[in-house]
Amino acid sequence: MPKLTVNGKGVEVPAGTNLIEAARTVGVEVPHYCYHPGLSIAGQCRLCMVDIEKTPRPSIACNTVAADGMVVQTETERVRETRKSMMEFHLINHPLDCPVCDQAGECWLQIYYMKHGLYDPRMKDEKVHKPKAVPLGPHVILDAERCILCSRCVRFCDEITHTGELGIFERGDHSEIGLFPGRELDNKYSANVVDICPVGALTDRDFRFQVRVWYLDTAKSICPGCARGCNIEVHVNRRRPHHAEGRRVARLKPRFNAEVNKWWLCDAGRYGFGFVDAAERLLMPARRQGGTSTEATWDEAIAAVAGALRRLTPDQMGIIASPKMSNEDLFALRRLIDLCGVRHVAGQVPPRVPGDEDDFLIRADKNPNSRGAELLGLGGDARTVIEAAGRRRLKLLWIFGHDLLASALPEPDVLEALRVVDTVVFTGSNANWTSAHSHWVLPAAAWVEREGTYTSFEGRVQRFRQAIEPLGQSLAEWEIVTRILAPLGEAPSATRAEHWFRQLAASVPAFAGLSYQLIGDSGRPLAEAART
Q: Where along the sequence are the contacts to other proteins (CB under 8 A)?
A: 99-100, 104, 131-133, 208-210, 212, 214-215, 240, 242-243
> 239 near 503, Cβ under 8 Å?
no
Nearer to other proteins, 200 or 318 (CB): 200
> 313 near 326, Cβ under 8 Å?
no
Nearer to other proteins, 99 or 182 (CB): 99
DSSP, res 486: G
CB of 126 to other proteins, least distance (A): 14
Nearer to other proteins, 3 or 132 (CB): 132
Nearer to other proteins, 237 or 474 (CB): 237
> Which segments of 138-215 are extended strands (E)?
140-142, 166-169, 176-179, 202-204
145: CB partners within 8 A, 6+ apart: 93, 94, 95, 127, 128, 129, 130, 131, 132
Nearer to other proteins, 143 or 195 (CB): 143
Nearer to other proteins, 208 or 419 (CB): 208
CB of 274 to other proteins, least distance (A): 19
CB of 99 to other proteins, least distance (A): 3
CB of 100 to other proteins, least distance (A): 5
480: CB partners within 8 A, 6+ apart: 302, 427, 442, 444
CB of 249 to other proteins, least distance (A): 18
Nearer to other proteins, 115 or 208 (CB): 208
**What are the counts of helices (DSSP H) followed by strands (DSSP E) for the chain?**
16, 23
The amino acid that residue 472 corresponds to is G
Question: Which of 380, 372, 406 lies closest to 227 in space, CA to CA?
Answer: 372
Cα distances from 23 to residues 52, 84, 87, in angstroms, run: 13, 20, 21
Angle at 31 between CA 28 and CA 37, to 5 degrees: 85
CB of 237 to other proteins, least distance (A): 12
CB of 122 to other proteins, least distance (A): 22
Nearer to other proteins, 245 or 359 (CB): 245
CB of 209 to other proteins, least distance (A): 4
Q: What is the spatial order of strands in the sheet that 249-254 belongs to?
A: 216-222, 231-237, 249-254
Nearer to other proteins, 140 or 382 (CB): 140
Nearer to other proteins, 243 or 383 (CB): 243
CB of 216 to other proteins, least distance (A): 12
67: CB partners within 8 A, 6+ apart: 2, 4
Kindly give the residue spans of alpha helices, DSSP state H, lying in 44-145. Answer: 77-90, 108-112
Phi/psi of residue 137, nearest 5 degrees: -170, -165
CB of 193 to other proteins, least distance (A): 20
Question: Which of 266, 57, 31 lies closest to 148 in space, CA to CA?
Answer: 31
77: CB partners within 8 A, 6+ apart: none
Question: Which of 512, 517, 448, 457 lies closest to 260 in space, CA to CA?
Answer: 457
Angle between the 477-485 and 298-311 helix axes, to the nearest 10 degrees? 60
> Which segments of 115-259 are extended strands (E)?
134-135, 140-142, 166-169, 176-179, 202-204, 216-222, 231-237, 249-254
Nearer to other proteins, 239 or 352 (CB): 239
Nearer to other proteins, 98 or 219 (CB): 98
CB of 130 to other proteins, least distance (A): 11
CB of 381 to other proteins, least distance (A): 47
Number of Cβ atoms within 10 Å of the Cβ of 251: 23
Type and span of the H or E element at 79: helix 77-90
